[in-house]
Amino acid sequence: MITQPELHLMLFVVGSDKHLDVISELRKALLENYGDAGYLEVIDVLSMPDKAMENNVFATPMLVRSIPQPLLKMLVNISSAQDAFMAIVNHQTNHNILV
């Protein structure tokens, strides 16, 4: 496994039970690509609404890259978890993202 820089992701969902497939896909992709350097925090908005407000999340499932900067937000659906992961990984850090 190639050593990778850290990647911290947050997945905001409403009811984590409903999105087990997305979570499982992302965890798998993280482990395969980042090993211990990858971290996924699943935030169920129903139990942690404040965290969604803090991060200005308008819609879910929303995948947020908190590390590395800049912050990236991706609106994903069940079938696109892998695509979202790749988009976040491949996104250039100097991309002109407004936050």
Residues in contact with other proteins by CB under 8 A are 13-14, 45-46, 49, 52-53, 56-63, 71-77, 79-80, 83-84, 87, 95-99
How far from 50 is each of 15, 27, 40, 45, 84, CA to CA, in Å? Answer: 15, 24, 18, 8, 24
Distance in Å, CB of 3 to other proteins, minimum: 26
- By beta-carbon proximity to other proteins, the closer residue of 34 and 84 is 84
- By beta-carbon proximity to other proteins, the closer residue of 37 and 97 is 97
Please name the residues in contact with 78: beta carbons below 8 A apart, sequence gap of 6 or more: 19, 21, 22, 61
